[in-house]
Structure 1
Amino acid sequence: MRILVIDGQGGGIGRSLVELLVKNFPDAEVGATGTNSIATETMLKGGPSFAATGENAILFNAAEADVIIGPAGIIMANALHGEISPAIAMAVSSSKAKVVLIPMNHCRAYIAGVEEKKVAEYLQDAVDIIRKIAEK
Structure 2
Amino acid sequence: MEILIIDAQGGGIGKQLVLEINKNFKNVNITAVGTNSVSTTNMLKAGADCAATGENAVVVGCRKADIIIGPVGIVIADSMYGEITPKMAEAIGQSSAKKLLIPVNHCNNVIVGVENQKMTFFISAAIEELKKCFNS
**Which category describes the TM-score, using the shorter chain as reference length?**
over 0.9
Give the Cα–Cα distance (whole angstroms) in 2 for the partners of residues 24 and 108 of structure 1: 33
Segments of structure 1 that go 5 or more residues without pairing to the other structure are none
C-alpha contact (below 8 Å) 1:35/1:83 kept by paired residues: yes
Shift of 1:113: 2.4
Shift of 1:55: 0.6
RMSD (Å), alpha carbons: 0.9
The equivalent of 1:120 in structure 2 is: 120
Q: Which runs of 4+ in 1 moved over 6 A?
A: none
The equivalent of 1:110 in structure 2 is: 110
The equivalent of 1:79 in structure 2 is: 79
Residues 19-57 of structure 1: per-residue CA shift (max 9 Å, x gap): 111111121101110001111011111101111111101
Q: Secondary structure at 1:134's aligned position in 2?
A: helix
Q: What is the TM-score normalised by the length of structure 2?
A: 0.96
C-alpha contact (below 8 Å) 1:2/1:31 kept by paired residues: yes
Give the Cα–Cα distance (whole angstroms) in 2 for the partners of residues 22 and 116 of structure 1: 26
Give the Cα–Cα distance (whole angstroms) in 1 for the partners of residues 98 and 117 of structure 2: 23
Give the Cα–Cα distance (whole angstroms) in 2 for the partners of residues 58 and 29 of structure 1: 16
The equivalent of 2:40 in structure 1 is: 40
Q: Aligned ranges for residues 124-135 of structure 1 at < 5 Å?
A: 124-135=124-135
Q: What is the TM-score normalised by the length of structure 1?
A: 0.96
Q: How many residues align?
A: 136
What percentage of aligned pairs have identical amino acids? Answer: 47
The one-letter code sitting in structure 1 at the alignment partner of 2:16 is S
Q: Secondary structure at 1:106's aligned position in 2?
A: coil
Bigger shift: 112-121 or 50-59? Answer: 112-121
Q: Aligned ranges for residues 1-136 of structure 1 at < 5 Å?
A: 1-136=1-136
Give the Cα–Cα distance (whole angstroms) in 2 for the partners of residues 117 and 126 of structure 1: 13
C-alpha contact (below 8 Å) 1:72/1:107 kept by paired residues: no
Q: Secondary structure at 1:63's aligned position in 2?
A: helix
Segments of structure 2 that go 5 or more residues without pairing to the other structure are none
Give the Cα–Cα distance (whole angstroms) in 2 for the partners of residues 45 and 107 of structure 1: 27
